[in-house]
Amino acid sequence: MREARATYSTGILRKAPKTNYALVDVVNLSAHAARSVTVQVFDWSSGSPVALKVSPCDARICTVRVGPRRSVFLFANVSRVQFKYEVRVTQSPDRRLITNVTGVTGSPFAPQVGETVLQLQLVKLGSTRRGKGGVSRQR
C-alpha cells in the first residue's frame, strides 16, 4: 500500500525569550488508520539551518506512529536558540491528521505569543508517495 506524504513548514519563527520548547501536537481523528508523522526542528540563528534533536526519538529526524483516535506530542529544546527556529512536519495530507506547533515555556508549558502555527497555517513544501520497498518519490 502506498501512503502519500507531504512536508509542511512553520516558516522561520522569532523565538521569545521565555520559549524553551517547540511543541508539536498531533491528533489522528481517523477511526481505523494509523499514520506516521516525522518532525524536524532547525535553529536558523546563524543564517543556516542547524538540526536540533527531537524527542521522544532523541534524534534530528523523529518519526512516530499515531494510532487511530489517538494524539501524541513531540518536542525539541529550543532554549539555546538565539533568535529564530523552524519546525518541519512530514505526514499524510489526510484532513483527519491534524498537527499544530507551539513555542512553550518550561513547566507549565505556557504557549508564547506569536509562536503558535496551526495546521492550516503550515506551508506545504512538497509531497512524496512511498512506492514499493519504502522508496519515496518527490512530486
pTM: 0.88
Dist. CA 21–CA 77, nearest whole Å: 5
**What residue segments make up the domains of the chain, in order of their start?**
4-125
User: Could you tell me what percent of the chain has a pLDDT over 70?
Assistant: 91
Q: With 50 as the cut, is the pLDDT of residue 129 above it?
A: yes
Q: With 50 as the cut, is the pLDDT of residue 28 above it?
A: yes
Number of other residues whose CB lies within 10 A of the CB of residue 95: 9
Domain at 4-125: CATH code: 2.60.290
pLDDT at 130: 58
60 DSSP 8-state letter? S
Q: Are 94 and 26 in contact (CB under 8 A)?
A: no
- SS3 of 47, please? coil
Q: With 70 as the cut, is the pLDDT of residue 132 above it?
A: no
Helices (H) and strands (E) in the chain, counts: 0, 13
Q: With 60 as the cut, is the pLDDT of residue 136 above it?
A: no
Query: Looking at the chain, how many residues does it have?
Result: 139
From residue 16, give the alpha-carbon distance in Å to each of 1, 3, 110, 137.
43, 37, 12, 37
For residues 76-99, give the mean pLDDT.
Answer: 97
Q: Would you place residue 113 in the very low, low, confident or very high pLDDT band (cuts 50, 70, 90)?
A: confident
Dist. CA 76–CA 56, nearest whole Å: 9
- Provide φ and ψ at 132, rounded to 5°: -60, 140
Going by C-alpha positions, the residue among 76, 70, 72 that lies closest to residue 54 is 76
pLDDT at 85: 98
